[in-house]
Amino acid sequence: MKQVVSNKRVLVTGGAGFIGSNLAIKLVELKANVTIVDSFIPEYGGNLFNINPIKNKVKLNISDVRDEHSMKYLIKDQDYLLNLAGQTSHLDSMQNPYADLEINARAQLSILEACKRYNPEIKIVFASTRQIYGKPHYLPVNENHPLHPVDVNGINKMAGEWYHIVYNDVYKIRSVVLRLTNTYGPRMRVKDARQTFLGIWIKSIVDGNKILVFGDGKQIRDFNYVDDVVNAILLSAQSNEVNGMIFNLGADDPINLEDTAKIMIDIARTSSYELVPFPPDRKVIDIGDYYADYQKINSSLDWKPQVLLREGLKRTIEYYQKFRKHYYD
Ligand SMILES: NC(=O)c1ccc[n+]([C@@H]2O[C@H](COP(=O)([O-])OP(=O)(O)OC[C@H]3O[C@@H](n4cnc5c(N)ncnc54)[C@H](O)[C@@H]3O)[C@@H](O)[C@H]2O)c1
C-alpha cells in the first residue's frame, strides 16, 4: 500500500469520526496528502481530539457532505475518496428519517455526480454496513444473502452503496463497497449508544458502572478491531481488480453479548453486568444473531482480521481510561 498512497491526495469524508480518524492517521504514516471533511454535528462521531496526533499534517475542511458546492471543490484533484461520512445511529434514523436519507443516500448520489463531472479518475471506497441484511436467514451471512433492512438507516445505506456500484458499472467511477460489521477501538463515540452498544459499555466499564445487556444476552455478533477495518479499506483502495465489488468484513471469533460483557469486566477488573429487558424501540429493529462470512474479501484481497477480541478490547479500554475527558467528561 505504501507506494500506492505515498504522495497521493486522499480525501476522507467523516475523517474526524471513529474509523475515519484511525484511517487518516494511518494514511499520514504512509505519507499520503490527506484532506479530511467532517461536519462535526454533535450527535455524530466527529471529535477534534481524534485527529490530534495529525493536526498539523492534514487539511481539515469543516463542511457537510450534503453541500454540493463544497464537495465539488473538495473532490477535484483527489486521487482517492475514502467515503465514510454517515449518520450511523439506527434509532436516530427512525426518529429523524429525513436527515438519514439526506446524508446516507442523497449526499452519496451528489458526491458521485461530482466525481463524474469533475474527477472521473478518482478511486472510491465506500463504508456500508451489515445492517442492510436485516435479520439473517442463515449464518454466517455471505454477500448473496437477501437484503431486507429492518430500519431506515439500513435502507439509506443500501441505496448509498448501490449508487456507488451503479456509477462504477455505468460511468466507470471506480468504487469498492465494504459492508462493515460492528467495529470498535480507540476514537469511537462512547458517550452514548448512538454508534454501537459497545461504546456505552466501554464508558460503563471505565466509570466502574454496571453494563446493561439487553434481552437474554445470547445474541451473537462479530466484532472487528478498527485497525483491521482500516487495513481492508486500504487494500480495497489499492486494487483495481475489485472495482465494482461488494465485500463483507467479519471476524473468526463470533461471540454472544453476555460473554462479551464478561471479557470486558475481566479486562478492567471493575464493574459487573445485568441482563435487562430490551427497550421496545430497540427491540423492533433488533436483528437477532449475526455474523459474517468474509471469505470473498479473504480470497480477493487476502484480508483477514488480525486482532482478536480480547486484545482489541484491552487496547480500547486502556485508551478510554487514559483519554476519557476528551470523549465525555
Ligand atoms: N462503526 C461501526 O461499527 C460501523 C458499522 C457499519 C458501518 N459503519 C459505517 O462506517 C462509516 C464510519 O462510521 P464510524 O463508526 O466511524 O462513525 P462516526 O460517526 O464516528 O463517523 C462518521 C463521521 O461522519 C461525519 N459526518 C456525519 N454526517 C456528515 C455530513 N453530513 N457531512 C460531513 N461529515 C459528516 C461525522 O461527524 C463523523 O465524524 C459510516 O458510514 C458507517 O455507516 C460503521
Which tens digit of pLDDT belongs to each residue from 6-27?
A: 999 999 999 999 999 999 999 9
78 pocket-lining for ligand 1 (C-beta < 6 Å): no
The residues facing 179 across adjacent strands are: 128, 248
d(CA 193, CA 88): 11
Q: Residue 110: phi, psi to the nearest 5?
A: -75, -30
pTM of the model: 0.97
d(CA 308, CA 254) in angstroms, rounded, equals 10
Nearest atom in ligand 1 to the alpha carbon of residue 153 is: 43
Report the alpha-carbon distance of residue 12 to residue 16 in Å, rounded: 9
Tell me what pLDDT residue 284 has. Answer: 86
- Give the model's pLDDT for residue 1: 52
Instruction: Please tell me if the CB atom of residue 66 comes closer than 6 angstroms to any atom of ligand 1.
Output: yes
> What pLDDT is attached to residue 282?
85
Geometric angle at alpha carbon 218, from 213 and 224, rounded to 5° = 80
Q: Where are the beta strands (DSSP E) in the chain?
A: 9-13, 33-37, 59-61, 80-83, 123-129, 175-180, 182-184, 211-214, 220-221, 223-225, 246-248, 255-256, 273-276
- What strand order describes the sheet that includes 59-61? 59-61, 33-37, 9-13, 80-83, 123-129, 175-180, 246-248
pLDDT at residue 291, rounded to an integer: 98
From 19, 43, 51, give the residue whose CB has the most ligand 1 atoms within 8 Å, as the site to mutate: 19
Q: Is 44 in the pocket of ligand 1 (CB under 6 A)?
A: yes
* DSSP β-ladder status, 59-61 and 80-83: unpaired
Pocket mutation for ligand 1, best pick of 25, 44, 316 (most atoms within 8 Å of C-beta): 44
Question: Which one of 180, 191, 229, 248 would you pick to mutate in the ligand 1 pocket, going by the greatest count of ligand atoms within 8 A of its CB?
Answer: 180
Q: From ligand 1's centre to the CA of 149, what distance in Å?
A: 18
pLDDT attached to residue 21: 98
Q: Which residue ranges of the chain lie beneath pLDDT 70?
A: 1-3
> What local confidence, expressed as pLDDT, does residue 285 receive?
83
